[in-house]
A and B are shown apart, each in its own frame.
Chain A
Amino acid sequence: MDMAVQKAFTEEASAIPAPSKKVKVVARDVNVFYSEKQALKDVSVDIPEHAVMAFIGPSGCGKSTFLRCINRMNDTIPTCRVTGTIEIDGADIYDPKLDVVQLRARVGMVFQKPNPFPKSVYENVAYGPRIHGLARSKAELDDIVASSLKRAGLFDEVKDRLLDSGTGLSGGQQQRLCIARAIAVEPEIILMDEPCSALDPIATAKIEELMEELAETYTIVIVTHSMQQAARVSQRTAFFHLGELVEEGPTEAIFNAPKDKRTQDYITGRFG
């Protein structure tokens, strides 16, 4: 690709108007170290509210690590150290005075492998509201469980077996149960760490559909291996490579007119 074409793409990309929405998460110069090894280098990114943002990149590029910084799940790894700032609605989430538990209530998470608690479907969804004191009575809790399951598109499938074990559901159902569990605590942001990697295409389609619906109320950040998925569900995409944020922008721009050579190589399938 010669310079002229490159330039044209760039201009075209910048011509696409950025989403006019408010920025929810602002990350500046985020570095993550595991012991001595640096996993993320100076990552700065803005995540818009009420939209789906996708992080793509080859394995081990740091996209999951960055995702886990947003709800401070990295705190559970003793050797992990994070520098830089991440703000949600203007408040630094690494402020020592901040209660990490409350942060995680605001920032829900869905994991790569469905990980329902080995308890009933009902208990799975009710657990969050219960520990956060979101319901004063059993009836309120029932309502929260039912509406969460409905929003996760699972209610009709499990309404007769709410008391059966959550681990007895199919993979796709389990993952939607995990989504229901995450939204039951009314988070503002939902982080999804390759939520469909363990699922078949039909289950994947359902989850993707669900993401689109959820984006109306929540800010969604998804890490994915699949560029097609990123293209299908996200409004903005960020490309990570070797711990660096290489490029970030509207999804169409990233896919149609990547500015960076590495991005281009990746999306055209030269590596990854």
Chain B
Amino acid sequence: MDLTSGAAQARVRRRYRAEARFRAYGLVALAVAGVFLVALIADIVRKGLPAFTQHALVLDVAVPADLVDQQVRTDPVAIRGADYFPVMRDALKAAIPNIESRSAEKTLTRLLSAGAANRLASMIVADPTLIGRTVKVPLLLSANADLYFKGTGVGTPITERSGRGIATPSGTSGEITILVSSNDFAENLVAIKRGLGERASLLTAEANRLQRFGSASLADRIKELHEEAAALRARVEQPKVEEALDSNVPSLLVAINGGLVKITKLGDMGITGEVLLPLGSRADAQPGDWKIVTYETAESNRKATDQEVAFLERFKTLGAVEASFNTLFFVGGDSREPELAGIRGALTGSALTLLVTLVLCLPIGVLAAIYLEEFAPRNRLTDLIEVNINNLAAVPSIVFGLLGLAMFLNFFGLPRSAPLVGGLVLGLLVLPTIIIAARAALKAVPPSIKEAALGVGASHQQAVLHHILPLAVPGIMTGAIIGMAHALGETAPLLMIGMVAFIVDVPKTLTEAATVLPVQIYLWSDLPEPAFQYKTAAAIMVLLMFLFAMNGIAIWLRKKFERRW
């Protein structure tokens, strides 16, 4: 065989290239799996981390003397039941005085969570003498306001520059005009017009791009885009004309005399606007004493309105905004309000369910494994049981849910949504896993140990119980923990037995309605509020943390008690 000819060498080279390619496929496959895992976890951590902090407004709250009746001043129920809304509203209005518009006032009060007063109520319960005094207390912000401070796309970047001329406001609230002695707004006007132009070209470009695909279904959309672009261009053509600002362009505001005015009509030398934060006076503002503020994101592209941004920014300047660790997330039950929703109910539900699962499937699983590994006669029945267990491990989990629904709920009449039933279903679900793991652990104990025990006259059962089982315990524990981790992450069968109810209270018994962590994740992920998405991701982080911890313990156990015989 000639290995030195050119053709032979080329052949060898080609074969080695194929070899390298084949090898690369394997690495790429592993890399894809790794990248997916990293992307998944990064995405969840990115979404979940903001949910672990929470913002509150620390305000001086004057607790009125008549908050509760004199006779029940120390009664926690009465204190918690009192109406805190006016109290909090007054505290907010004291922080930002002179708000006259009803809608602005409504916006202001809505910045607070429905549960904002809980903290205050608890403080008063602990110390009833606070009634009639002024207390500095953190008031929980609503979910959107909270997200605003987390910089999660609810708000907007803000830029400002000083005014060059003398500005004269026509009033302190409502709709006012501000005349300026210089052409301060000219460049904004130009910028706005340029922005309109850019938007028009973008729309045209998109229309042309779609045109290329030539699909008939897109024709309407293309026409729409062209029309919109034409309308925008018409506005750009007239440079000096006053431009009315809508919510599709960045918001322009004027900060003057301690107030804030949102520009609705922009001219060269003056503006018309709506007061968002009341002005201190109608006095002229000297050059440099007033500012032009821009909320860069157009109002229509963000959750927070200009009014809300104005309020929240004001609270920030007042130093009233306080961020803290979101303990409520861990101690609260479920809630319709994202900022009040917590996972304690779901965690407790999971704990109760897993307790039932463990109590059911650990003893049964271990005893079954002992029987099959040590005592079962080798016959068809045993074969059947074995095949059956292996198959059961691969039955879709939702089928176990059907079993739970038909058997436990409808036939045996056990309560719906209860951890008891959930635990039973999950117990049957992980039973095969535990049996298989326990059998492997029993099998790993060398037969010499059993022979030694039998040799001194131990019965077969004594040999198993005194010697083999104790040596198999670490392996069984490892299997049990992995089985429990599996049960902890399981969702589908629990949906079948009704553990999807909205449950605010933390469950206390095995038979009351409850939900579990993965089901809570499923429920939250379905809700439209963005704040719930963050909560979902945070709940997933908690779930994964538990799972990693459990698997970590299992690996540690395996490593620690691994024995070479």
Contacts and interface: CB of A to CB of B under 8 A. Distances in A.
Nearest to A124: B452
Most chain B Cβ neighbours within 10 Å, of A73, A76, A178: A76
B457 A132 contact: yes
B448 A101 contact: no
A101 B459 contact: yes
Contacts of B460: 76
B451 A115 contact: yes
Residue from the set B453, B454, B455, B466 with the largest chain A CB neighbour count within 10 Å: B455
B458 A131 contact: yes
Interface residues of B, number: 21
B452 A118 contact: no
Nearest to B448: A115
Contact of B452 (A101, A117, A131, A185): A117
A109 B458 CA distance: 12
B456 A182 contact: yes
Contacts, number: 69
Contact of B454 (A73, A78, A184, A185): A73
Nearest to A113: B448
Contacts of B378: 78-79
Interface string A105-135: 1001111010111100000000110011000
Contacts of A110: 455
Contact of B449 (A109, A117, A185): A117
A259 interface: no
Contacts of A101: 457-459
Given A111-B448, A118-B471, A127 B466 contact: yes
Contact of B455 (A78, A109, A113, A131): A109
B455 A182 contact: yes
B153 interface: no
A208 B467 CA distance: 29
Contacts of B377: 78
The interface centre, meaning the residue of B451, B452, B460 with most chain A CB atoms within 10 A of its CB, is B452
A206 B267 CA distance: 113
B462 interface: yes
Contacts of A116: 452
Contacts of B462: 131
Interface in B507-546: none
B457 A117 contact: no
Interface string B473-503: 0000000000000000000000000000000
A111 B452 contact: yes
Nearest to B456: A128
B450 interface: yes
A185 B467 contact: no
Given A78-B378, A117-B467, A118-B471, A178 B452 contact: yes
Interface of B: 377-378, 446, 448-460, 462, 466-467, 471, 563
Interface of A: 71, 73, 76, 78-79, 101-105, 108-111, 113, 115-118, 127-128, 131-132, 178, 181-182, 184-185
Given A78-B377, A103-B457, A182-B456, 17 more contacts: A71-B455, A102-B457, A104-B454, A104-B455, A104-B456, A109-B455, A109-B456, A111-B452, A117-B453, A117-B467, A127-B458, A128-B457, A131-B456, A178-B452, A181-B452, A185-B456, A185-B457
26 contacts: A73-B455, A76-B460, A78-B377, A101-B458, A104-B456, A105-B456, A108-B457, A110-B455, A111-B448, A115-B446, A115-B452, A117-B452, A118-B449, A118-B471, A118-B563, A127-B466, A128-B456, A128-B457, A128-B458, A131-B458, A131-B466, A181-B452, A182-B455, A182-B456, A184-B456, A185-B457
